[in-house]
Structure 1
Amino acid sequence: MLPEQRERATARGSRPQGLPVQPAAPAREAMPETDRAHRTLARAIAAQDWERAIEALDARPVELLCDHFSVVCDFFARVPAESLHGRPALALARAFLVGLPAADGAAPTEPIEPPTLRDRLVPALTQVISLRVSGRLEEAEAVAAQAQQLIPEPRYGGRHDDMLALVRFEWGILRLLRGDMLAAAEDFRVAARAARRSGIDALARGATGDLALVLALRGDLGAARELLDEADARPERGGRLEQLSRTGRIVARSLAALAELDVDAAAKALDGLDSIDDVRVREELWAFVEIARAQLAVVRGDTLAALHRLEAQVASHPATCGRGAYLRAVVGCAQVDLLLALGQGDRARAVLRDVPGTIAAMETARGTASAVRLRRARLELLTGDAAAARTRAVSLTHTSGVHPRYLLDALLIEAVAEHRVGDAAAALVALTRAVDLAGSQELVHPFVLVPSAELREIAATADVATAAPATARAMRWLEDLLDSPVLRAHGDALPSRIDVVDLSERECAVLVELASTPSLDLVAARLFVSPNTVKSQVRSLYRKLGVHSRDDALVVAYRTGVLVG
C-alpha cells in the first residue's frame, strides 16, 4: 500500500492491509430519560426512599404519569402523607389517583395556589380531571378558565412544554364534552405543538387525533383525514398515554370512512376500541362513539340494536347526559336518526321536543343548532310536511358558518322538499349546490338519507345539453354516484315517508292503559273518568290509528313508536 493510500485509509478509519482488525466495541445506546426516571422511581419505591422518588417524579411527571401509570399509582399508594407536606400538587394528585386524603386535608376540588407556574397548573389540572370525570363539567370549565389566565401565551417556555401539552389536551377534552368546538380545536392544536416540541409523541398523536375528531364532527373531512394520516405516521410505543390518545382517532377515522360510505373501514375502525383497556379512558368520549355507531347502523340497517345500546348508554350517564346538557342534545340527534330509520316518527318527534330550551340557547354559539334544526327538517320532510321542511332547510342553507356536513344534508333536504312542492327550478339549484359541496369534501354519506328516486327525478329536469356547464357537470357526477355499487348497496337508508299520529294527552294516557289494563271500566277507574268518556276517547284513538280493535291499536302504536315497550 502506498503511503498516500495508507493515509487515506487511516483517515477513513480503516487499517492497512494485512493487519488484524479489532472488532469495534458495540455502541452503548443511551437510555431514554423517561425510562431512566421510571427505573429510578421504581427503585426508590422499593427502598422507600421517598425524597428520591419525588425527585424522579418531578423530573418527568407527564411521561411517567402517562407511560408508567401503574408505577406512579404505586408510589402515591405507598408514600406517607407527611412526605408530601408542602407539596400541594403531589398531594392533590395522590387524592385524585388513589383516593387517599391529601396531607394537608385538601380535597381534589379545593383551589390551591402554589408559588410556581408549574405547581399552579398541576393542581388545576387535577381539579379539572376530577370534576370532569364526575360529570361536573360546568365547575371543571370554571376551574380551567381561571387556570388559563396563568398562561400568558401558548409558547411560554420550553421547559414547561410537557405540562402545557397535557394541560391543553385535558382542557380540549373538557371543551369537547361541553360542545365548545372552536375552543377545543385550539386547545388540541396548542397541545399538539407543545407535545412535539417536548418529544412526547403519544400526546402529540392524541391531540392531533382529537383535533381530527372535532373536524370530522364539523364535516371538514379533508382536513380531518390529513390530521389522521399525520397522527398515524409514527408507530405507537404503548403505555397508558397511547390509550388516552386513541379514542378520538378511532371515532374520527370511522366518521371519515363513513363519509365516503366505506362501511367496512368504518366498522373496522370502531373495533379498535376493544384495544383500549382503561374503561375510564374509553368511556369519557362515549357520546361521540355512539354517534359513529348510530351513523354506521343507519347505513347497515341494524338500527334496533344500536338504538337499544344508545338508550342504555344515556341511562348510564345521568351526570353528563341529563336535561340541559350539551351531550344530551348531541346524542338526541343520533337517537332521532335511528328512530327515523325505524319509521318511528312519533318517538323521533318526542325526542326533539324534549330538547330543552337551555340547549337551544347555547346551540347557536356552540354549533349544535344546525344539527337539531336539520333533524327537525328531515322529520318534517318524511312525515309529509314538505313546505315546513323547505323553510327549515333554507334557514340553514342560506346561513353563513354552517358546518359542511350539515350544509350538505340541508341542501339535499331542500332539493327534495322543493321537488315535492312543485318548484323544479329551485330543486335543481339546491341539488347542484349539494353536488358541488359533496365533490369538494369527498362526502357522499348524506345521499343515502334522501330518496334516490327523487334525486333522479330532479336531475332529469336539467337539459344537460343546454344547461350551464356547472349544472351539467354536477348532474353527470350525481348520475355516476347514484349508479355506483356503494350507493346501490346502501342507498335509501331511511324510508321515503313516515306516518305519525297526533294523539291528545288524554288519548295517549288511554292508550298506555289499554296496553296493561284488561277492561275499559278499569281503565276509566284508573284515569278517574266515566266509562263513557273512555269509550269516546278509544273511538277517537282507533280512528286516528286507522284500526278497529285494541290489539290492532297496540300493534300500530308500538310500530310507530307511540308506545314504547
Structure 2
Amino acid sequence: MCVTDESSVLNGLILTHRNGGSRARVVGRPRRASAPLRKQDQERTVRMVEDLARAAAREDWESVGALLKSSFCRYLYEDAGAVEEVLARAPDTWFEKNPRRALARAQVEAVRHSRGVVDRNAVAPYQAWVGAQCEPAPRDVLVCRLERLRLFLLHARYGDASNDIDATIRYVTSVPLDAEGMPDVMPAVLLGCGVGKLLAGELDSAASCFSETIRWASSEPQHPYVSFGRGHLALVHALNERYNQAAALLPEHFVRAEPGTVQHLREQAGLLARLLVSIGTLDSGGADEVFRQIDESVRDGELGWILLHAEAMRGLVDERPWPAAHRLMMYFEVEPRRTGQASFAGAVLRADLASLYQAAGDLRAADRVLGTAWLPPEQPHLVVTRARQAMLQGQPEAAMALLDREEATHSSTAAARFRASGAVLYASSEFALGERGNSSAMRLAASSLEHDGALLALMAAPPAIRGRLFALAGRDEMRIPQPWTFQSRVRLTPRELEIFEALRKYRAVKEIAAALHISPNTAKTHVRALYRKLGAHSREDALWIGRDLDI
C-alpha cells in the first residue's frame, strides 16, 4: 500500500474522532448521549483513538491489531467512524491472517448501518477458528457466545437464549478475571445477557446482569458501557413500576446520538425507560418530549414492543383506548414470533390490550384476551389486569383472591400485590368490601406510591379513597385520570335471582313472564333492571357476567 503523508492522514482521523464520530442531536441542555466518563477517562480514550490513528497512518498493522485486540469495544463506542476508516486502509492479507480482524470489520459495519446483528459470513469463520483451538482466549469464547445470543434473540428464541446465558455466566465464573481483553469485552457480554433475560421475562436475572455491567464498567479505567448498564437497569425498574428508582439511574437531560454509532443502538433502553417513567409519574410534557425522540430504529428494535406498551399506558392516561388497541392488534399480526402467548412481550401486551378494552367498556373482549391459551398465569401484568377485571364486574373478593394466590406462588420479590398498581387495586378491593381508614393494604398502597412514584397506579383507585392515599403518601392531591368505572359489589335479591334463573332458561320475554307468573311488560321491566345492576346490555352479557359472579 502506498504511504501518504502521515500527518495529513493522522489529522483527518483525529478530526473525525473529535468532531464527527459522535455527533448528537441535543434535547434539553447540550450533553453527550452517554453518561459522561470521568475527565481522566475521557482524556485516556481520546489518546487511545489518536494512537490507533497514528498506527494506521504508519501502516503498522500489527500495532493496530494489538490495540483493537485489547480495547475493541472501547474504540467502537468512542468513534466507530474512525475505526471504520482505519480498517478500510488495512490490506486484505491482514484480515486473512486472523478471523478476529474480519469479525471486527463486520462488527463496525453493523454499527455503522445501525444493525443489531453481525454478518454471518464473518461470524461463522471466526467461530470455527475459535472452536478449533485447544485453549481459546476467554474473550474470543465470550464474543462467540455473544454473537450466538444475538442470533437467538433475532429469531425470538428466548428460551434457548436464556439457557445459553446461564451457560455463559457459568463459564465466566471459571476463567481468570484478568485474562487479556476481559475488562473490555465483559460489559458488552453482560449487557447482552441482560437483554436476553429481559426478553425471556426473567427480570430479576436481567437486573443482576445489568448491575454487573455497571460494576465491570465502573472499574479503573471506567468503561463507556457504564451508561448503557444504567439505562438498561432503569428499564427493568420501570417495567416493575419502580419509577423513582429508574429515574435515579438516568441523566437529567438526554441527547440522542447520531445513527451509525454504538450509542444510537444501545441507548434505546434508557430512552424507553425515560418514556415509561414520564407516563408512570403522569408527566405528560416529559412523555411528549420522549415520544418526539422515538425513531424507526427504536420501533423496529428488539425492545420495540416496549414502545407499544408505553403507547397503551398513554392511551389509558388520555382516556383514548381505541387507537392504542388497534395498534396492538396489528402488532400481534405482524410480529407473531415476538409476541407469542407464552412470551414476556406477548403477556405484557395482551394485558395492555385487555386493559384498553376494559377502559372502552368492552369487558367481554377483555375477558376473551385474558382467556388466551398459554398465557403465563403468574405474570404480574396479567394478574393485575385479571384482578381489575374482577373489580369491574363487582367482584372485589375475586380480585383479592387473584392477588393473594399469585403472591403465594411468585418466585421473586416483585409479586403483583407489591407493585404499586397491585397494591392500589388490593386496597380498592378491601374498600369495596367495607374496610375503611388505615388498613394495612391502604398503607402498603400509599407507601408504594411514595417509594416508587407510580402515580399511574391511582387510576385503579375509586375517588373515595384517593384523597386518603395522597395523605398517607404525603403528597398534595392532583387530578388523576379515571379510565375505568368500577362496579359496586353486586348482590342480587331473591327476586332478582329468580329472574336471572328464568333468563338463563328462556330467551323470550313471554316465556320468562309465564315462568314467573307475571305479565310480559312486568317481566320486561324486571329484566331491564337486572341488566342495569349487572352492567349488561343483552341476555348474553348478563349470562356471561353472572357466570363470573357464580350466580
If the TM-score is normalised by the length of the shorter chain, which range does it land in?
A: 0.5 to 0.7
1:408 and 1:324 map into 2 onto residues whose CA distance is 24
Per-residue deviation, residues 211-235 of structure 1 (Å, max 9, x unmatched)? 01111222333322221248x6999
Aligned-partner residue type, residue 60 of structure 1: S
Equivalent residue for 1:466? none
2:78 and 2:186 map into 1 onto residues whose CA distance is 17
- Name the TM-score, length of structure 2 as normaliser: 0.68
Mean CA deviation greater in 309-318 or 75-84: 75-84
Match of 2:269 among 237, 248, 267: 248
Size of the aligned set, in residue pairs, is: 446
Q: Structure 1's 77 and 176: CA in aligned 2 closer, same or farther, altered over 3 A?
A: farther
Q: Structure 1's 448 and 155: CA in aligned 2 closer, same or farther, altered over 3 A?
A: farther
Q: In the TM superposition, what are the counterparts of 1:325-344 in structure 2 within 5 Å? A: 325-344=343-362
2:55 and 2:160 map into 1 onto residues whose CA distance is 34
Aligned-partner residue type, residue 128 of structure 1: L
Aligned-partner residue type, residue 249 of structure 1: G
* Greater RCO, 1 or 2 (C-alpha within 8 Å, sep 6+): 2
2:175 and 2:416 map into 1 onto residues whose CA distance is 29
- Is this contact kept in 2: 1:161–1:198, CA < 8 A? no
Aligned-partner residue type, residue 318 of structure 2: R
* Shift in Å, 1:170: 0.8
1:321 and 1:402 map into 2 onto residues whose CA distance is 22
Per-residue deviation, residues 283-327 of structure 1 (Å, max 9, x unmatched)? 211122222221122101232211222222233322222232222
- Is this contact kept in 2: 1:336–1:352, CA < 8 A? yes
Does the alignment pair 1:387 with 2:387? no
Q: Structure 1's 371 and 105: CA in aligned 2 closer, same or farther, altered over 3 A?
A: closer
Equivalent residue for 1:492? 482
1:103 and 1:390 map into 2 onto residues whose CA distance is 53
- Is this contact kept in 2: 1:203–1:241, CA < 8 A? no
* Shift in Å, 1:132: 1.5
Q: SS of the counterpart of 1:97?
A: coil
**Bigger Rg, which one:** 1
Does the alignment pair 1:87 with 2:99? yes
Equivalent residue for 1:317? 335
Equivalent residue for 2:71? 60
Structure 1 runs not aligned, ≥5 long: 1-28, 460-473, 499-541, 547-551, 561-565
* Shift in Å, 1:173: 0.8
Q: In the TM superposition, what are the counterparts of 1:306-455 in structure 2 within 5 Å? A: 306-356=324-374, 359-360=376-377, 363=378, 368=379, 370-395=380-405, 401-403=413-415, 406-421=418-433, 423-425=434-436, 428-453=439-464
- Is this contact kept in 2: 1:125–1:167, CA < 8 A? yes
Identity %: 20
Does the alignment pair 1:305 with 2:315? no
When the two chains are superposed, the root-mean-square deviation of aligned CA atoms in Å is 4.5
Q: In the TM superposition, what are the counterparts of 1:166-565 in structure 2 within 5 Å? A: 166-197=188-219, 199=221, 202-229=224-251, 240-274=261-295, 278=297, 283-356=301-374, 359-360=376-377, 363=378, 368=379, 370-395=380-405, 401-403=413-415, 406-421=418-433, 423-425=434-436, 428-453=439-464, 476-477=471-472, 481=476, 484=477, 486-487=478-479, 490-497=480-487
Q: Structure 1's 381 and 122: CA in aligned 2 closer, same or farther, altered over 3 A?
A: same
Per-residue deviation, residues 472-508 of structure 1 (Å, max 9, x unmatched)? xx67457975xx3x42xx431223349xxxxxxxxxx
- Is this contact kept in 2: 1:202–1:241, CA < 8 A? no
Q: SS of the counterpart of 1:495?
A: coil
Aligned-partner residue type, residue 393 of structure 2: T
Structure 2 runs not aligned, ≥5 long: 1-42, 108-116, 489-526, 532-536, 546-551
